[in-house]
Amino acid sequence: MIRFLAAIAIFAGTLAAQEQVNPPLVVQAPPQPAGPSLVAFAQNPAAMHDFDEDPAVTRTMVDALVRTVAGKNDTASAWRTFVEPGDRVGIKVTTAGGPLFATRRGVVAAVVAGLKEAGVKSIFVWDKSADSLRACGFTPERIGCEIRAIEPPKGWDRDAVLQAPVLGKVIWGDLLFAEKVRDKNADPLSSKSHLCTILSRDVTKFINIAALSDEPGCGVAGTLHSAVVGNVDNWRRFTSSLDGGAAAIADLYADPLISGKCALHILDALAVVYAGGPSAQPGNSVIQTALYAGRDPVALDAIGLRLLEKWRADAALAPIGSKAAWLTALETADPKMIQLKAAK
């Protein structure tokens, strides 16, 4: 079995020559851990009252997670192991679950506060849809920083191309849609995706905070889904249960403009949809009151998958099973390759 991030044979890479609004960025994929991947976890029943978050509690949980992953005793020093004061830091959230199951605002506000304590001046939060961000309460006043969305099609970077050997039909909102409509002879299918300009040009580092849920095509919507599928056009081919496109998700994450910029992953498992996600499904949900954090998204998503399978079994639902085979085949998805540590 191959090591995660070394599996890039099917990956054509991002084009190196780019005309950027900001100065050119030099990024490198993070080195692989020598041993098991560290995943810190924090769980506190007081963090949630039904579907309402207690942000004071989740702030202490986030701070403890960051200190544990960084191996530091104070929060500001811990954050400075992930980012530097001069970085332009984006925070990727997921809002597909609506107000009840989106990334929790208190968790995001805790990250913003920690980054500011570490001296970072340039911070913003983003997801695909401005409407979804507003519906989930992500405003500058509540979060403490700028809020951005990926505005199609101009929000996609023509020079940042990710290619995988699975075809997807280009639809409205994808960068190439208008061109293919104008050309009557153009093939509506494409093996290309374009990265959002927020990630390719605007940030030097990003914190990925994914709200855990199941997903009908690729099985689990977690940190990899948020970092890859949430940031590219022509993304539906990676979540289709018909063509096996999910196998490309981890390979595309290996692009240095994604993995090389991701400083930390946080998996929000405070309230989780285990069937019918990632949209809101209160009847198929559980209040877990837990957060997980680490540098390895495979390890985090593997933990998330096992939780989802348990809750589905408890509800007498069919397992996710083969839909998540792309994830379980990766080496650091093996429980033996994960060091789970309580945050403190």
Phi-psi region of 3 (alpha: psi -120 to 50; beta: other; left: phi over 0): beta
Helix (H, G, I), strand (E, B) or coil at 282: helix
pLDDT tens per residue, range 95-151: 999 999 999 999 999 999 999 999 999 999 999 999 999 999 999 999 999 999 998
Q: How confident is the model at residue 316 (pLDDT cuts 50, 70, 90)?
A: very high
How far apart CA 13 and CA 315 sit, in angstroms, is: 41
Kindly state the average pLDDT of the residues 37-64: 98
Q: Please give the average per-residue pLDDT across 60-89, as a whole number.
A: 98
Confidence of residue 179 (pLDDT cuts 50, 70, 90): confident
Return d(Cα 231, Cα 279) in angstroms, integer.
18
The DSSP H or E segment spanning 112 is helix 105-117
Tell me if 263 sits within 8 A of 78, measured CB to CB: no
Q: What amino acid occupies position 83?
A: V
Here the tokens at position 204 are 């030097």
CA dihedral angle for residue 274, residue 277, residue 281, residue 287, rounded to 10 degrees: 40
The total number of residues written for the chain in this structure: 344
Residue ranges of domains in the chain: 37-342
Span 319-330, pLDDT tens digits: 999 999 999 999
Q: Is the pTM of this model over 0.75?
A: yes
Looking up tokens 């506190």, which residue turns up?
A: 44
Q: Average of pLDDT values for 241-266?
A: 90
Round the average pLDDT of the chain to a whole number and report it.
Answer: 88
Tokens of 207: 């914190």
pLDDT over threshold 90, residue 254: yes
Which band of pLDDT confidence, cut at 50, 70 and 90, is reported for residue 236? confident
Average confidence (pLDDT) over 23-31: 40
Using a 10 angstrom Cβ sphere, with 0-12 exposed, 13-18 middle and 19 or more buried, the burial of residue 19 is exposed
Q: At what angle do helices 105-117 and 55-70 cross, to 10 degrees?
A: 50
Tell me the two tokens of residue 41: 């976890």
pLDDT for the residue numbered 190: 85
In this structure, what DSSP letter does residue 327 have?
Answer: H
pLDDT classification of 33: cutoffs 50, 70, 90: low
Domain 37-342 class in CATH:
alpha beta
| Half-sphere exposure for 318 (CA within 13 Å, toward CB) | 7
How is residue 92 written in tokens?
């990727």
Q: Is the pLDDT of residue 283 over 90?
A: yes
